[in-house]
Chain A
């Protein structure tokens, strides 16, 4: 618990994943949470973004979430960043924390956060959910295997998002809980890096697989080519998620 009390965790995206993950980490005793999101609470968020209520619609997510978290965990320190993660600010934000939680809802931010964490040698726990399906992946500070070992680059085409395709509220809760679990494990030096958790809320099954470093990975192999955050790398190229 002492180690968690000293820990600083950055939650990128305070939505369906970020809200429950942040709450779980706060109640677990993590000392400081940084929250990154430039969005405002929308009525369509409320079924899955559990830190918000109807009275919060229109308010900045990071401000509302900060109050809700401190109300539940009074010793928690919250650092709200009312901003979007960009190639310009990503490395500095990541550098200020011990670990990052990927609660983002788009591929560009997921790859940007993966790259920023690898360059700053920070562990990151990725998460994603759409409809009835979700995944979580833990990546160590050493960086291999990484998100780009699993998925090389941004999908081509317009990927479905929770806004366009929908997501079942409890599914993001399960994935966020897995992310918080993996984060606590990483912060307490348990070996979970490279573990990919997949959850199917329709079949009600969860599976765990070990991801291997991809030969020639652009981010974490000896032949890596990503040494900086170039804006053009995070422009979605175009086809729906598979």
Chain B
């Protein structure tokens, strides 16, 4: 099952500039592993050894995956994943 993943501007250097990419997987974790295969380097920007990095938020639809099972969050057809990193600057 393909899931649409919205890529924030700060990570688009890893996706060839694409703001949306597709990846396969039944869970958030599986999608991230597939993202890593397609766009090497992306996983390390999202995850550390404990799971989702503390200054990154990953949403399925409008739900933060921290509240829905983390990387084990199951995906269904039509779900979209968004990544919201902490940014400074102004």
Contact = CB atoms under 8 A, between A and B. Distances in A.
A172 B84 CA distance: 17
A129 B8 CA distance: 12
Contact of B54 (A13, A153, A172): A153
Contacts of B55: 151-155, 241-242
Given A130-B10, A133-B9, A212-B64, A242 B90 contact: no
Nearest to A48: B90
A164 to B, nearest CB: 9
Contact of B90 (A13, A207, A211): A13
Given A133-B8, A133-B10, A128 B89 contact: yes
A154 B88 CA distance: 10
Q: Is the interface of B mostly helix, strand, loop or mixed?
A: mixed
Contacts, number: 101
A165 B89 contact: yes
Nearest to A179: B90
B90 A212 contact: no
Q: How extensive is the interface on chain A, given as a class? A: 35 or more
Max chain A Cβ within 10 angstroms of own Cβ: one of B53, B62, B87, B89:
B89
A198 interface: yes
B19 A106 contact: no
Interface stretch (A14-22, A61-69, A85-93, A219-227): A14-22
Contacts of B59: 209
A211 B63 CA distance: 9
B76 interface: no
A179 B57 CA distance: 20
B62 A133 contact: no
B43 to A, nearest CB: 11
Contacts of A121: none
A57 interface: no
A4 B86 CA distance: 31
Interface in B46-90: 46, 53-57, 59, 62, 64, 66-67, 82-90
B11 interface: yes
Interface of A: 13, 15-18, 103-107, 110, 127-135, 150-155, 159-162, 165, 167, 172, 175, 196, 198, 200, 202-203, 207, 209-212, 214, 241-242
26 contacts: A105-B88, A128-B89, A129-B87, A130-B9, A130-B88, A135-B87, A150-B57, A150-B86, A152-B54, A152-B55, A153-B54, A154-B55, A155-B55, A159-B88, A160-B88, A165-B89, A196-B84, A200-B9, A202-B9, A209-B62, A211-B64, A212-B67, A241-B85, A242-B10, A242-B45, A242-B86
